[in-house]
Amino acid sequence: MLSVRFWGVRGAIPCPGPDSVIYGGNTSCLEIRADNRLVIVDLGTGARPLGDWIMENEYKKNGKIDADIFVTHTHWDHIMGFPMFSPSYAPGATLRITGPVSSDKESLETIIRHQLSFNYWPICADELSAKITFNQIDETTLDLGGGLTVTSKYLNHTISCLGYRINYNGKSIAAVFDHEPYCGGERFNEAQASEENEKIARFFKDADILIHDAQYSQEEFSTHLGWGHTSYDHAVKSAQSAGVKKLVFFHHDPSRTDKQLKKIEKSYAKTSPVKIVMAKEGITLQA
């Protein structure tokens, strides 16, 4: 069985408060289970409750944790939960953290570990008890064994950013965030931009679940070009053309209220040819 549980669904910054009770206010973190294998995508603030759940429900029973963690990119909202990810402090935990080569060539390990320095945190990275290794990748397919593979694809963001497709026993979950559709301009002409968009669509073609950046309305998107994010309309159009079975709107704008998200979800659910789900902390979807 391949499934995904959502622990953090917001972009940019955590937004706790009365307007984010239903859909949640933590930043990006996904828990993906391939039967007994654990894959985590991103270490936003949702990594704190995920880590606490793992410690309480698995570490106490088994005395060990084994997880593959894939970081889409190193913007703060996608890594800031790492200092509060309790398995990092657990003897017997093995964490393999994989992510893209940084745009400025600073290593993934340096960027993530730097959060645990005394200027920012009371415990330094060298004091962590877990066995933690780091791996930097470009576009590739990693065989994690037992029929579980993870394929990476570069997205269009303001720094190096990877989308991930997790494949297991004929099922697939694709995570495509943070991402802005390519358009003609200084970097690409129209034909080149179209080809780049086609490459992204081929990456998640026929996915059982597509978790897609959907931070903006179409009107908002037109005033945020270059910010590295996508509109609901583009996510739906891309999912439909790629034959995706279920589309999850993800990376909610921190200013978006529960009431607004619920209204958007209902609106698209009525008109979209693809099954629509608005990402919500705590829900689990099975591929």
CATH of residue 245:
3.60.15.10
Tell me, what's the pLDDT at 174? 98
> The domain containing residue 174 runs over which residues?
2-286
Helix (H, G, I), strand (E, B) or coil at 28: coil
Distance in angstroms between the alpha carbons of the first and the last residue of the chain: 8
Work out the angle at residue 82's Cα, subtended by the Cα atoms of residues 70 and 140, and round it to the nearest 5 degrees: 15
Greatest extent of the chain over all pairs of C-alpha atoms, in Å: 56
Tell me, what's the pLDDT at 104? 79
Strand partners, 143: 149
How many domains is the chain partitioned into structurally?
Answer: 1
Taking the model in full, what pTM does it have? Answer: 0.97
Tell me, what's the pLDDT at 268? 95
Q: Which residue has the tokens 């608005």?
A: 278
User: CA-CA distance, 163 to 153, in Å (whole number)?
Assistant: 5
Helix (H, G, I), strand (E, B) or coil at 79: coil
Please report, as a single letter, which amino acid is at residue 95: L
Tell me, what's the pLDDT at 134? 98
Name the residue among 81, 218, 239, 72 with its Cα closest to residue 156. Answer: 72
User: pLDDT tens-digit profile of 160-217?
Assistant: 999 999 999 999 999 999 999 998 776 788 999 899 999 999 999 999 999 999 999 9
User: CA-CA distance, 24 to 164, in Å (whole number)?
Assistant: 23
> How many other CB atoms are there within 10 angstroms of residue 83's CB atom?
22
Tell me, what's the pLDDT at 187? 78
Q: Which residue has the tokens 């206010």?
A: 25
Name the residue among 279, 274, 275 with its Cα closest to residue 249. Answer: 279
Low-confidence ranges of the chain (pLDDT < 50): none
18: left (phi over 0), alpha (psi -120 to 50) or beta: alpha
The answer to whether residues 193 and 184 touch, using CB atoms and an 8 Å cutoff, is: yes
